[in-house]
Amino acid sequence: MEATLNSIIAAAAPLVIATMGETITEKSGVVNLSLEGSLRLSAMTGFVVAFWVGNALVGFAAAAVVGAMIAAIIASTSIRLKLNQIAVGFVLTLLAADLASFLGDSFVGERGPRVPALPIPVLSDIPFIGKVLFDHDLVVYGSFLAIAITWWVFYRTRAGLNLQGVGERPEGAFARGINVNTLRFWYTVLGGAMVGIAGAAYSLDVKLGWRETLTLNLGWIALAIVIFGGWHPLRVAFGAYLFGALQVLAFHLQDVFPGLAQVLPIAPFPLMILALVFVYSSGFRRIGDRFPRMRNLLGSEAPAALGTVFERE
Amino acid sequence: MKALRAATPTLVSLVAALAFGVVLLLLAGAPPFEALWLLVQGSFGSASKVSATLLAWSPLLLASAGLVVTFAAGLWNIGVEGQIIVGAIAASWVARSFPGPVWVILPATILAGAIGGLIWALLAGALKTYGGVHEIFGGLGLDFVAAGMVVYLVLGPWKRTGVASTSGTDIFREEAWMPGLDALGTGWPVIPVALGLASVLIVWLLLRGTRFGLRLKAVGRNPRSSFLLGIPTNRYVLGAFAIGGALAGIAGTVQATAFHHKLVPSISGGYGFLGILVVLLASFSAAWIAPIALFFVAISVGSTQLDLRLGLDSAFGGVLQGVIVLFVMIGGAWSARRSPVSPAARGEP
Amino acid sequence: MALEIRDIHKHFGSVRASDGVTFVVEDGSLHGILGENGAGKSTLMKILSGFYEADSGVVDLDGEVLDLRSPADAIQAGIGMLHQDPLVFLPFTVLDNFVLGSPGPVRLDRSSARAELERVGSELGFRLDPERLARDLTVGERQQLEITRLMSLGAKVLIFDEPTTGISATQRIQLFSTLHNLAEDGLIVLFVSHKLEEIEQLCDSVTVIRQGKVVFEASMPVPSEVLVEKMFGKIFVDEGREPAPLGAPVLELSQVTLEEGTTRVEDLSLDCTAGEVIGLAGLEGSGQRTLLRACAGLLKPTSGHLSVDGKNLDNASYRDHLAAGIHYLPAGRLEEGLVEGISIAEHLVLTSDDTSFFIDWDAADEAAQQEIDDYSINGRPSSPAEVLSGGNQQRLLLAMIPDEVRLLLLEHPTRGLDVGSAAYVWQRLLERRSDGTSIVFASADLDELLRYSDRIVVFFAGAVFAVRSAVDTDGEELGYLIGGKERA
C-alpha cells in the first residue's frame, strides 16, 4: 500500500509542477495553450543538455529556459501584437512538439543522468507516512514545495492578491497602481519555466530517457486539470494526484484487462469534462454557499479576464 | 504594386521561416540545401510520389474546408481530429459489414463518414451550447475518446485475424477500397482529390454566396448584433459544427478506404490539427486553402524522405509548417501595428 | 493646499474630449463638476487619477507640479477616484478588496488589515462586513468600501464620478454626510454629476463643463437657471409643428416593473398611439434604456403587462417581438447594431425580405447602391461597416429597418452626428409616421426631444418624473426636469 501511494506521488510530481505553473499563468489572465508542446520540448532539452554536460541540474535549468521562452512568445505576442493567445499557443504546441521529435531523434535510447533518490533521514523512517511522503527525490520534494509556495503566495501575500486582481479585473488592478501587462508577462514566463522543469522531470526522473511518446497527452491533461481544479492550487494538485492514481491503476490492471491499459490513460479527459459540467452546475455552487470558509477552495470561476488583452484607453 | 507591398510582410516571414529551417538543419548536422531539395523530390520527384502527395492533399482539404466553416462561426473546433477518427470508424464499419459492388460501397462509406463526423461534432457543439463547456475542451476530450475507441476496436472486436496488433484491422476487401484510376499503374487518387477540391469549392460558395454563409459569418464576428438582427445564433453555431464535422468525417473515409485500406490507431494522420494551421495561414479564408494545403502536404510527404535518405526525423516537416505559420502571424500583426485602428465612435463622456 | 488644473487637452482619434480645461479648487471644499453626458467630465477625472494620460496641460497640487502618467503616480500624490461603477473585484471579499494594491510587507497580515478596515470604516461611519463578497454588496456599499480604502491610503484629493447613480435614498443621505465630513477634514472633494439638485445641495463651488471646455466657474449658491443654461448651451425654441394623428394604441404598458442590473423601474404605465412619437428624456441610468429594451423583448417585465397591437407580449421572446413588428436600434452602432467586417451590401442582404438560399450579388449590389443613394450614405456597397463614419453607420441602420414596422425603438438616434445628418435621420424616421408606425426614442439632446416628440417622458432615478406635451414645454424646463427638479 505504501509503495503504491509512494509511486502515485512520484509519478504525479512533474504534473503537479506543470499544473502549478499553468495555474499561476492563468490566474494572471493568460492562457498558455502550448503545454503539450512545451512539456515535450523541455523534456527533450533537459535530457539532451544533461546528457552532454553529464549533470542533471544543468538539464533542469535548460529545460526551464525553454519553457520560459515559449511562454514569453505567447505573452509578448498577446500583449504587444494583440495576437490571439489561443492561436499562438496552438501553433506553438505543434511546433514545439515537432522540434522535440526532430532534435531529440538521435538521443532516443540513450541513457542519461538521473535525479538521485534522496530519502529524508529520520522522517523517512516514520511508519507509513515516512515511506509515502519522505522517501523520494528532489523533484518530488520540489513538487511539494511548488504546491505550498503557490498556495501561500496566492492567499497569504500581497503579491498574490495583486496577481489575482490582475486576472480578475485588470482595469481595477490598474486603477490601484498595478502594472498589469508587466506582471502578466513575468508570471506567464514563470509559469512556463515551471512547465519546463516538469518536462525535464519526465526525462530525467520519472520516465528516464527521451522518446517521442514520453509526455504523450500530458500537456492537454494538465490544462484540463487546471480548470477542473478551479484555479486553486490545492484542488489542482488534487486533480494531478488523482490522475497519477489513475495511471498507476491502469498499470496494475493491464494484465487483468488487456485492452484497458490503452484506454485508461485516455479516459481521464472525458472524466474531467464530466467533472467540469458538474462543477459548473448550481448544485455545486450551493455547497460553496454552505461553507463560506471553503469558498475559495470550492469556487470554480475562471479569472474573469482570462485570455483578454488589457488596453488602457 | 500595392498588392506587392501588402504581401511584403508575408514574404519576409516566409523567408525568415525558411532561414530558421536551414539553421535547424545545420544544428542537426544535416546538409541544409540537400535536405530541402529532398523535400521537393520526396513530394514531386516521381509519378508515384506525386500521386502520394495528392492523396495526402485530399483529407487535408476536407478537414481544412470544414474548419473554415467552424472558424467563420467564431469557433475553435479542436475536436476536428476526433471527427476524422469517428468518420473513419463509421466508414470502416460499412466497408467491413456491407456486401456489394464498389459503386454501392463508395457512396455508403462517404455518407457514413460524414454522418459519423457530424454526430461527433454535434456532441462538442451540444457541450458548448447546453453544457457551457468551451469547445476547445469539449473537442479535446472527444478527441481522446475517439482515439480510445479506435484502439479498442483495433485490439478488440475488429482485431486482425490471428494476433491483435496495433498495426490495424484486417485490410478491407478490394471492392471497399476507394477506387483510383489505373493510369500509370499507380492509381491516381482522382476521387479523393475531387472530394477535397469539391469541399473547398462548396465551402467557398457557401460562405460567399448564400444567406446561410453570410449569417454564419455575422454570428462569428458579432453574436450580439446578429442576435438583435434576428439570427438564431445557437442554431447557426450547431450548424457550423455539423458541417465541419461532416467534412472532417469524409476525410476520415478517405484515410480509411483510400489510404490505409484498413482502420489503424493513427487513422487521422494529424490532418485535423494540420488543417487548423492551414486555415490560420490562410487567414480563415477559403480562397487560399487549396494551394496552402498542397504546400503543406508536400512538406509532410517530402519529409519522409529525410528519414530514409538522411536519417533525420521526419518531424522536420512539422517544424517547418509550424514556423511558417508562427512567423507569418507575427509578421502580419507587426505590420498591422503601424496603421492605427480607427477609433471611430470611441469617444468618452 | 490647492488643486490647480491648467489647460488640459486630451483627444481620442478625432474626438476632443478635453479642450483646454482650467480651474482651481481650494482644500477643504466640496467642488461640483457639472455637465451633461459627453461633456468630458469623466475623461477629465480619469486624467486626474492617472487612468488616462493627458496630451498636454498641467496638474498642480499644493504648489507641486504632478507627473501623472499612471494611477500609481496619482495614488502617490494622494489623488483617489471613485469610479461610477466602483472598480471592485466581485469574487473577492470586502477585506481582500480593501487590501489589494495597498503597500506593505510581502506577507499579508489579514488580521491587522481587518483592524485597519474597521478603524477607518467606523471613522467614516460605515459598517462593512470584511467577509462578505463584493458581488453581494449594493452599489452604495461598494462605494463605502472604496472610500474606506482610498482614505486608508492617505488620499488628499477624492474624486467622485456620478456617485449617486444606482444607490438608494438612505445611502445617498449617508454619502452626502460622508462627503461633508471629508471636506471638513481638509480634503479636496470633487463631485462630478449631472444632477442639479445634488450640486446645489452639496457643493461649495461649481465648475460647468460643456464639450470639453470649462464654460462657467463660481461659488455656490448659483441660480438654477444659470446652471441649466450653462450646461446645455443655447436652447433652441421650437417652432410650431403638426399635431400627432390620433390612432389606435400601438404600445400599451400597464404598471410594469423592470429590473436590469442596478436600474429598477417601478410601476410604469404608458400608451403610445399609431403615428405618435414619444421622446424619453433623462440622463443615463435613469431607466430609459431599460424601458426600450423591455419593449424590444430583451428584458421581461417583473410584473405588469406589455402589449403591442393588442397582443400580449409579457412572456414573449426577442424573436416574437421582431415578428410583432417591433424594431430596436441600440445606441452602440458597432457593438450591437452592425457587424464589423461585413459590408453595406451584406448588411442589407441580412435584413432583406428575400429568403432565397443563394445570394445574387449583382442584384444585392444594385439594391445596396439604391439604398446608398436613397439614404445618401457615403460609402460603396463593398465598404465594411467599421470604416463608415457614425452618421453613415446610422444611415445604414435606417436603411436596414424593415418596410413594415409597427413600433420603432431608438436609443440615441443622432448621437455623435452633425446637424445635417441628424436632420436627415429624422426626416426619414418621420416619413414612417404616416404608415402608422410609432416611434419611441431616448435622447440626451433637448433640441431633438423638443423638435420631434409629440410627448416627452422624463425619467429620473428609475421612475417617470414627468410627462409633457412637447408643445407645452421648453428647453429650460426640460433641463430642470432632467436634473430632478420641477421648475419653480
Residue B288 forms part of a structural domain = no
Contact B214 C346 (CB under 8 A): yes
Which of C339, C352, C392, C401 would you mutate first to test chain B, the one with the most B CBs within 10 A? Answer: C339
Backbone angles phi, psi at C15, to 5 degrees: -90, 125
Judged by CB atoms closer than 8 Å, whether chains meet at A262 and B273 is answered as no
For residue B174, count other CB atoms closer than 10 A to its CB.
Answer: 9
- Give the helix/strand (H/E) hosting C251: strand C249-260
Query: Between B171 and A192, where is the model more confident?
Result: A192
Cβ-defined contact of C75 to A156 (cutoff 8 Å): no
Using a CB-CB cut-off of 8 Å, the residues of chain B touching A98 are 315-319, 321-322
Per-residue pLDDT tens over the stretch C41-86: 888 888 999 988 888 889 999 888 888 888 999 999 999 999 878 8
Kindly indicate the confidence band of residue B122, based on its pLDDT and cuts at 50, 70 and 90. Answer: very high
> Among candidates A189, A20, A200, which has minimal Cα distance to A100?
A200
Number of domains in chain A: 1
Evaluate whether A231 touches A302 at the Cβ level (below 8 Å): yes
Rounded CA gap, A154 and A152, in Å?
6
The pLDDT of residue C118: 93
Residue window 20-49, chain C: list those with CB within 8 Å of chain A: 49
CB-based contact A95 B312, cutoff 8 Å: no
Question: Is position B27 within any domain?
Answer: no
The residues near A202 (Cβ < 8 Å, ≥ 6 apart) are A14, A39, A43, A214, A215, A218
Q: How far is C364 from chain B (nearest CA, A)?
A: 11
- By the CB < 8 Å criterion, does C418 face chain B? no
Nearest to B315 by CA among C284, A280, C163, A40: A40
Question: Residue A238: which domain range?
Answer: 2-298
Mean pLDDT on C345-352? 92
Q: What is the pLDDT of residue B4?
A: 75
**pLDDT digit string (tens) for C173-188?**
888 998 999 999 889 9
What pLDDT score does C174 carry? 85
Residue B38 lies in a domain: no
| Interface chains of chain C (3 or more CB pairs under 8 Å) | A, B
Helices (H), C78-210: 94-99, 110-124, 139-152, 169-184, 196-202
Locate the chain B residue with the closest alpha carbon to C321. Answer: B230
pLDDT score recorded for residue A286? 64
Selection from A30, A75, A76, A16 nearest residue A303 by Cα:
A30
Interface of C with A in 76-105 (CB under 8 A): 76, 81, 83, 87-92, 96, 99-102, 104-105
Supply B311's cell numbers: 536519417
Instruction: Report the residue of B229, B235, B285 to disrupt the C interface, i.e. the one with the largest count of C CBs within 10 Å.
Output: B229
Give the closest of C333, C351, C357 to B345, CB-based.
C333
Q: What is the pLDDT of residue A299?
A: 64
User: Would residue B1 count as lying in a domain?
Assistant: no
Percent of chain C with pLDDT over 90: 26
Give the domain CATH number at A177: 1.10.3470
Query: Count of CB contacts below 8 A, A vs B?
Result: 123
pLDDT (tens digit, 9 = 90+) per residue, A69-93?
999 999 999 999 989 999 999 999 9
- Give the helix/strand (H/E) hosting C459: strand C455-460
- Can you give the residue range of the structural domain that contains B129? 53-269
pLDDT at C237: 47
Q: Which of A82, A105, A263 sits opposite B312 (nearest CB)?
A: A105
| Cell numbers for C62 | 499644493
Residue B236 lies inside a defined structural domain of this protein: yes
- What digits encode the pLDDT tens for the residues A263-305? 666 666 777 777 767 766 655 566 656 666 666 666 667 788 8
Residue B343 pLDDT > 60: no
Q: Is the distance from CB of C84 to CB of C35 less than 8 angstroms?
A: no
Closest residue in B to A81 (Cα) is: B333
Q: What is the pLDDT of residue B64?
A: 97
What per-residue string of b and e applies to C458-481 under the rule 16 or more CB within 10 Å gives b?
A: bbbbbebbbebebeebbbbbbbbb
> How many beta-carbon pairs under 8 angstroms link B with C?
94
SS3 C157: strand
A303 in any annotated domain: no
Structurally, chain B folds into a number of domains equal to 1
Measured between alpha carbons, how far apart are the two ends of chain C, in Å? 38
> Which is it for the CA torsion B65, B66, B70, B76, positive or negative?
negative
pLDDT of B134 higher than 90: no
Beta carbons of B344 and C15 less than 8 angstroms apart: no
Select from A157, A171, A178 the Cβ nearest to the Cβ of C101.
A178
CA distance A95 to C251: 60
Residue B104's pLDDT band, with cuts at 50, 70 and 90, is: confident
Which residues in B lie closer than 8 A to residue A86 (C-beta atoms)? 76, 136
pLDDT digits (tens, 9 = 90+) for B8-49: 888 999 999 999 999 998 888 888 888 888 888 888 888 888
Residue B176 maps to a domain: yes
- The 3-state DSSP class for residue A111 equals coil
Q: Looking at the domain assignment, is residue B280 inside a domain?
A: no
From chain B, the residues in CB contact with C335 under 8 A are 222, 224-225
Q: Which residues of A touch B (CB under 8 A)?
A: 33, 77, 81-83, 86-88, 90-92, 94-95, 97-106, 217, 220, 223-224, 227, 258-259, 262-263, 266-267, 269-270, 272-273, 276-277, 280
pLDDT at B283 over 60: yes
Contacts with B111 (C-beta within 8 Å, 6 or more apart), sequence order: none
- Domains of chain C, each with CATH number or no CATH: 2-232 (3.40.50.300), 238-325+405-488 (3.40.50.300), 343-401 (no CATH)
